Amino acid sequence: MQDQARESRQFLHRYTPPPIDGSFRGKHIVTVEQFSRSDLRTLFDVVFDFRSRVTNHDRSLLDICGSHVMASLFYEASTRTDMSFQAAMRRLGGRVVSASNGVQFSSVYKGEDLADSVRAAACYADVIVLRHPEVGSSYQAAYYLDQLQARVTRQPVVISGGDGVGEHPSQALLDLFTLVDLKGGAAGQTITMVGDLRNGRTVHSLAKLIGKLETRNTTLCFVSPAALPMPENIISYLKTHHINVHETGDLQEVLGQSDVIYWTRVQEERFENRAEYEAIRNDFIMTPEVMRDAKPDCILMHPLPRKNEMGTPEQRDALDLDPRAAYFRQMENGMFVRMALLASVLGAV
């Protein structure tokens, strides 16, 4: 796995993701840095349209991707990303393929490398959704798909479903859409991200996407254990893009001023040292008592899945009833955003 990790990271430099620049068709989606403000407006217009049509059971949606096939290639566990992409494709009339019983029972079991598995999926599908534990793996997939174009008749694209501790671009899109949906956008808001900011790819992508918007009066507060800070490259990216950044280990410093609270799980699976995880897993626990000190009109987001960082099952049940809890709306928005993304890269809208 060390070799795969090294190889995947190299592609962060070998492959340059194309900016969307007004045209989604045929573009691999591997980082939020590909999107401009105008691209987001275009995409979110489609999301609002699809959401309304799904809600009204508009059967004409089934014609949009009726001739397309999506391959689901997940090397890491997922509930939301995998299921919402599959549901999105089916709601647009498309089909979904995957290795029977998961990627671990594909030729990966026999030692096939990532490049060949991606090439195989591309020979059968028009779009591949890839989740992989290594940073840069989606760049690697995009690089080999571009090379494959000279050898096959079609031009399949890859959408990252998360590459290790790197990025999760479609999650950031659905998070930002939820901010637009519930708070009118990110501009002027104080957005507080809490928890494992070192390993959380969702917070990496969302912070960078907000930076792309260059909303000068937006504040991002990062609250984490000292060992799990937001990576320095993202902090400097935000400062370059005129976002106010405040880092602290004390939630109370920022809780009462936060318009958006984005809570995250400590990513147990990313720790090599179990004792290090145990030492900090309970540092930040969201409970109904914590929410008492939050603004009455704030929203509480979480990419999910959740564990002890949202308290006991009883505390979670109580949190879920708080009208400020936005994570189920966020989860549902994921399907609409992924519908719009699939239709856009396939040139179907």
**From the CB of residue 262, how many other CB atoms can be counted at a distance below 10 Å?**
28
Nearest distance, CB of residue 120 and ligand CP, angstroms: 23
CA 265 to chain centre: 14
- Identify which of residues 254 and 319 has a Cβ nearer to ligand CP in the complex: 319
Select which of 80, 183, 265, 302 is catalytic. 80
Environment class of 284 (CB within 10 Å of its CB; exposed 0-12, middle 13-18, buried 19+) = buried
Q: Is 68 a catalytic residue?
A: no
Does 302 bind ligand CP (CB under 6 A)? Our answer is no
Helices within the chain (DSSP H only):
2-14, 37-55, 80-91, 114-124, 137-148, 169-183, 201-213, 232-240, 252-255, 274-280, 288-291, 313-320, 327-345
**From the CB of residue 151, how many other CB atoms can be counted at a distance below 10 Å?**
8
Select which of 81, 190, 219, 264 is catalytic. 81
State the number of binding residues for ligand CP (CB under 6 A).
10
C-alpha–C-alpha distance, residues 327 and 202, integer Å: 14
- Identify which of residues 77 and 279 has a Cβ nearer to ligand CP in the complex: 77
Q: Is 168 a catalytic residue?
A: yes
Nearest distance, CB of residue 145 and ligand CP, angstroms: 22
Nearest distance, CB of residue 260 and ligand CP, angstroms: 17
C-alpha–C-alpha distance, residues 22 and 342, integer Å: 15
Does 80 bind ligand CP (CB under 6 A)? Our answer is yes
Q: Is 110 a catalytic residue?
A: yes
CA count, 13 A, side-chain hemisphere, 64: 26
Q: Are 312 and 288 in contact (CB under 8 A)?
A: no
**Amino acid (1-letter code) at residue 105:** F
Does 79 bind ligand CP (CB under 6 A)? Our answer is yes
Select which of 27, 91, 131, 204 is catalytic. 131
Nearest distance, CB of residue 79 and ligand CP, angstroms: 4
Binding range to ligand CP, per CB under 6 A, among 150-158, 289-297, 301-309, 339-347: 301-309
Does 108 bind ligand CP (CB under 6 A)? Our answer is no
Token pair listed for 191: 């957005």
Does 264 bind ligand CP (CB under 6 A)? Our answer is no
Does 78 bind ligand CP (CB under 6 A)? Our answer is yes
Chain positions 121 to 180 lying near ligand CP, rule: CB under 6 A, are 162, 168, 171
Site of tokens 């928005």: 333
Q: How far is CA 251 from CA 187, 188, 210, 224, 294, in A?
A: 22, 20, 21, 9, 11
- Identify which of residues 51 and 131 has a Cβ nearer to ligand CP in the complex: 131
Does 305 bind ligand CP (CB under 6 A)? Our answer is yes
Indicate which single residue of 81, 178, 189, 219 sits in contact with ligand CP (rule: CB under 6 A): 81
Nearest distance, CB of residue 226 and ligand CP, angstroms: 25
Binding range to ligand CP, per CB under 6 A, among 57-65, 78-86, 181-189, 242-250: 78-86
Bridge partners, residue 71, by sequence = 97, 128
Enter the DSSP assignment of 297. T
- φ, ψ of residue 122 in degrees (nearest 5): -70, -25
Token pair listed for 313: 């099952």
Q: Is 81 a catalytic residue?
A: yes
Binding range to ligand CP, per CB under 6 A, among 77-85, 94-102, 250-258, 316-324: 77-85
Query: Footprint of ligand CP on this chain (CB under 6 A)?
Result: 78-81, 162, 168, 171, 303-305
Q: Which residues are catalytic?
A: 80-81, 110, 131, 168
